[in-house]
């Protein structure tokens, strides 16, 4: 993760928000290369999920909506995470991410350590020694075997046990509070009144904008069951512990689909089909299938309205975590909006000759998490020969040409030969009309290639003396293999088309 964060900052992909003021936890800014990568991910998703399908239409709803929408959806009352405070360090933790290990000193139970999910055994042992110190029992023999277990959630502890628990960032025992619910929606006020009636929310998901517009689209969009509505947009959650770079932030973007089906449909098969569609899509943008796994939520842990939820998990640098949630949400959301708004959410199904509120399958994907998964997969370090023939280490981002910020870089071999520069600039202007390409005339050619490798440009195109004196062909250098081939301009454009626009 450190290498990826360093590269993102150094080459202008991602910056901490408000950096000149010391940063702002949970917010990020995307620089010149980051915004290209991000747009490419969103555009390809939109193209594949909306434009290249006959059964899905698009939507762009407002971020702030009528507050009653969030009452109907259950967010006002229920969208919260359990939180634990540390009275000493003033830090906050998500209760479901704090894990407890019993500490045995001299064969007797001495207390507990609380550590953040994913903390390794060595750190747990260090914490246990800290607990031993804080109990003033420095000589005691520590039984490490209990620390090598799975741990339990902090919610399992009672008051007396919490009193002998050492928090992750505390020096003294007993500083962690009882878990309490922390509301995740950001509040704001709309209009000139300052009272409670003006309270509104920044949306914590884009999905409710889809449900709120479902009726408009049914009435105007000539859609018939089964059909989907897709939306890409910002979402905001006041996460208790934003961390792991852009994995969990407070402002992020989602790409969501609500796919409406008949209540009589074989939802299990459709759910499976959606899982496969999503895995195939990830593969198409360069995320290998073997790095994606499925986490099927246990039936007794599902929300009461949910029939099934499976998360697609990805091996992020900080561990295996949710990338894409694919849930079967029955008719819960539309039913709630029918109840709260008084407007019918029924559709007449011509094929079945009956009216009903459709059920829904919801694939919900984060743009930022996809971008982190793409960066994780693409980041590599290898060794290649430099201009002098010596082997050199290089950092390379192996982006698929489809999503790479720059598709190709065009170089005149030398910059002091006007004829070469002229051809290179002409080719650059021509390619720039179709794709985002880069022009670079300065420095040794090997160094110029390397600069592009580091930002993931898949192809280098060099105009050299053979172009000028012989046959007009150019050299195409492949980022991953570093192999070079000569191609005519026509063949070059055809090749780029196949790689980028497929
Ligand atoms: P988590 O359990 O990680 O908090 P969630 O189950 O609450 O996630 P959903 O409500 O299912 O997440 O949101 C759908 C998708 O939106 C997630 O799969 C993820 O890709 C993205 N997402 C959710 N919360 C965040 C966040 N704070 N930062 C970045 N992306 C997020």
What are the pLDDT digits (tens) for 1-13?
999 999 999 999 9
Query: Which residue, judged by its Cα, is nearest atom 8 of ligand 1?
Result: 322
Which pLDDT does position 194 carry in this prediction?
82
Which pLDDT does position 149 carry in this prediction?
87
Residue of 82, 364, 372 to test ligand 1 pocket, by largest number of atoms within 8 Å of CB: 364
Q: Which two tokens stand for residue 186?
A: 């950001």
pLDDT band at 466 (very low <50, low <70, confident <90, very high): confident
For 121-161, write each residue's pLDDT tens digit: 999 999 999 999 988 888 899 999 989 988 898 988 999 99
Which pLDDT does position 150 carry in this prediction?
85
42 contacts 34 by C-beta, under 8 angstroms: no
Average pLDDT over residues 250-257: 98
Q: What is the mean pLDDT of the chain?
A: 94
Average pLDDT over residues 190-216: 94
Reply yes or no on whether the pLDDT at 70 is more than 90: yes
What is the rounded distance in angstroms from the CA atom of residue 75 to the CA atom of residue 39?
29
What is the rounded distance in angstroms from the CA atom of residue 494 to the CA atom of residue 488?
10
Average pLDDT over residues 403-427: 95
27 contacts 18 by C-beta, under 8 angstroms: yes
pLDDT band at 222 (very low <50, low <70, confident <90, very high): confident
What is the three-class DSSP state of 286? coil
Q: Which two tokens stand for residue 120?
A: 């390794």
SS (H, E, C) 158-198: CHHHHHCEECCCCCCECCECCCEEEECCCEEECCCCCCHHH
Average pLDDT over residues 422-432: 96
Which pLDDT does position 305 carry in this prediction?
85
**Ligand 1 centroid, distance to 237 Cα (angstroms):** 9
pLDDT band at 72 (very low <50, low <70, confident <90, very high): very high
Q: Which two tokens stand for residue 240?
A: 């208790």
Identify the helix (H) or strand (E) that includes residue 116: strand 108-116
Query: Which residue, judged by its Cα, is nearest atom 25 of ligand 1?
Result: 248
Identify the helix (H) or strand (E) that includes residue 111: strand 108-116
What is the rounded distance in angstroms from the CA atom of residue 385 to the CA atom of residue 65?
57
Per cent of the chain over pLDDT 90 is 86
pLDDT band at 455 (very low <50, low <70, confident <90, very high): very high
What is the rounded distance in angstroms from the CA atom of residue 487 to the CA atom of residue 467?
10
Long-range CB contact pairs, 497-502, < 8 A, 24+:
499/401, 499/402, 499/458, 499/459, 500/401, 500/402, 500/407, 500/435, 502/402
Query: What is the number of other CB atoms lying within 10 angstroms of the CB of residue 79?
Result: 17
The answer to whether the bond into 302 is cis (omega within 30° of 0) is no
Residue of 295, 369, 372, 374 to test ligand 1 pocket, by largest number of atoms within 8 Å of CB: 369
Burial class (CB in 10 A: 0-12, 13-18, 19+), 257: buried
What is the rounded distance in angstroms from the CA atom of residue 248 to the CA atom of residue 6?
18
Average pLDDT over residues 411-438: 95
Residues with CB under 6 A from ligand 1: 205, 237, 239, 248-249, 252, 254, 322-325, 364-366, 368-369
Q: List the chain domain ranges.
A: 31-70+186-375, 80-182, 406-501
CATH code for residues 31-70+186-375: 3.30.930.10
What is the rounded distance in angstroms from the CA atom of residue 96 to the CA atom of residue 99?
8
For 350-399, write each residue's pLDDT tens digit: 999 999 999 999 999 999 999 999 999 999 999 988 778 888 899 999 99
What is the rounded distance in angstroms from the CA atom of residue 16 to the CA atom of residue 28?
5
For 280-334, write each residue's pLDDT tens digit: 999 999 999 999 999 999 998 888 889 999 999 999 999 999 999 999 999 999 9
**Ligand 1 centroid, distance to 488 Cα (angstroms):** 47
Average pLDDT over residues 415-427: 93
What is the rounded distance in angstroms from the CA atom of residue 28 to the CA atom of residue 367?
13
Phi, then psi, of 143 in degrees rounded to 5: -85, 110
CA-based angle 463:467:473, to the nearest 5?
Answer: 95
What is the rounded distance in angstroms from the CA atom of residue 172 to the CA atom of residue 169?
9
Query: Which residue, judged by its Cα, is nearest atom 10 of ligand 1?
Result: 205
**Ligand 1 centroid, distance to 17 Cα (angstroms):** 20
What is the rounded distance in angstroms from the CA atom of residue 308 to the CA atom of residue 292?
19
What is the rounded distance in angstroms from the CA atom of residue 80 to the CA atom of residue 184?
5
Reply yes or no on whether the pLDDT at 221 is more than 80: no
Residue of 94, 203, 243, 248 to test ligand 1 pocket, by largest number of atoms within 8 Å of CB: 248
Reply yes or no on whether the pLDDT at 35 is more than 90: yes
Q: Which segment of 246-255, 426-435, 441-450 scores lowest on mean pLDDT?
A: 441-450
What is the rounded distance in angstroms from the CA atom of residue 458 to the CA atom of residue 396?
10
Q: Domain 406-501's class?
A: alpha beta
Closest ligand 1 atom, residue 237 Cα: 27
**Ligand 1 centroid, distance to 248 Cα (angstroms):** 7
pLDDT band at 197 (very low <50, low <70, confident <90, very high): confident
């Amino acid at each position: 993760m450190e290498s990826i964060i360093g590269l993102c900052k150094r080459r202008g992909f991602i910056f901490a928000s408000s950096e000149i003021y010391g940063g702002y936890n949970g917010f990020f800014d995307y620089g010149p290369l980051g915004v290209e990568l991000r747009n490419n991910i969103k555009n390809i998703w939109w193209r594949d999920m909306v434009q290249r399908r006959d059964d899905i239409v698009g939507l762009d709803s407002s971020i702030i909506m009528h507050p009653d929408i969030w009452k109907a959806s259950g967010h006002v009352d229920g969208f919260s995470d359990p939180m634990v405070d540390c009275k000493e360090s003033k830090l906050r933790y998500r209760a479901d991410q704090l894990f407890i290990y019993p500490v045995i000193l001299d064969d007797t139970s001495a207390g507990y350590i609380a550590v953040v999910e994913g903390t390794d055994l060595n750190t747990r042992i260090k914490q246990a020694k800290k607990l031993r110190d804080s109990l003033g029992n420095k000589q005691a023999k520590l039984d490490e075997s209990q620390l090598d277990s799975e741990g339990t959630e902090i919610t399992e502890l009672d008051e007396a046990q919490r009193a002998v628990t050492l928090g992750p960032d505390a020096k003294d025992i007993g500083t962690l509070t009882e878990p309490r619910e922390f509301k995740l929606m950001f509040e704001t006020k709309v209009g000139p009144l300052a009272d409670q009636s003006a309270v509104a929310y920044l949306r914590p998901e884009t999905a409710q904008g889809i449900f709120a517009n479902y009726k408009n689209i049914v009435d105007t969009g000539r859609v018939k069951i089964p059909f989907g509505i897709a939306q890409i947009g910002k979402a905001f959650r006041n996460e208790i512990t934003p961390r792991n770079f852009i994995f969990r932030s407070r402002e992020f973007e989602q790409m969501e689909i609500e796919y409406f089906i008949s209540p009589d449909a074989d939802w299990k098969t459709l759910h499976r089909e959606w899982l496969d569609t999503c895995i195939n899509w990830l593969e198409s943008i360069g995320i290998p299938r073997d790095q994606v796994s499925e986490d099927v939520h246990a039936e007794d842990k599902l929300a009461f309205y949910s029939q099934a939820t499976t998360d697609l998990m990805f091996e992020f640098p900080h561990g295996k975590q949710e990338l894409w949630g694919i849930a079967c949400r029955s008719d819960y959301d539309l039913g709630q909006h029918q109840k709260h708004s008084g407007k019918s959410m029924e559709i007449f199904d011509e094929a079945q000759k009956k009216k009903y509120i459709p059920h829904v399958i919801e694939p919900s994907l984060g743009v930022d998490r996809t971008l982190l998964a793409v960066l994780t997969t693409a980041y590599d370090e290898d060794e290649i020969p430099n201009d002098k023939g010596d082997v050199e280490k290089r950092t390379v981002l192996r982006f698929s040409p489809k999503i790479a910020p720059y598709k190709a870089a065009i170089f005149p071999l030398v910059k002091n030969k006007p004829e070469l520069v002229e051809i290179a600039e002409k080719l650059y202007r021509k390619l720039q009309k179709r794709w985002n390409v880069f022009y670079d005339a300065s420095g040794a050619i090997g160094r110029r290639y390397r600069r592009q490798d580091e930002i993931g440009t898949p192809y280098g195109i060099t105009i050299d003396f053979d172009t000028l004196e012989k046959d007009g062909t150019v050299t195409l250098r492949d980022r991953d293999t570093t192999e070079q081939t000569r191609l005519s301009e026509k063949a070059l454009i055809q090749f780029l088309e196949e790689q980028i626009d497929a």
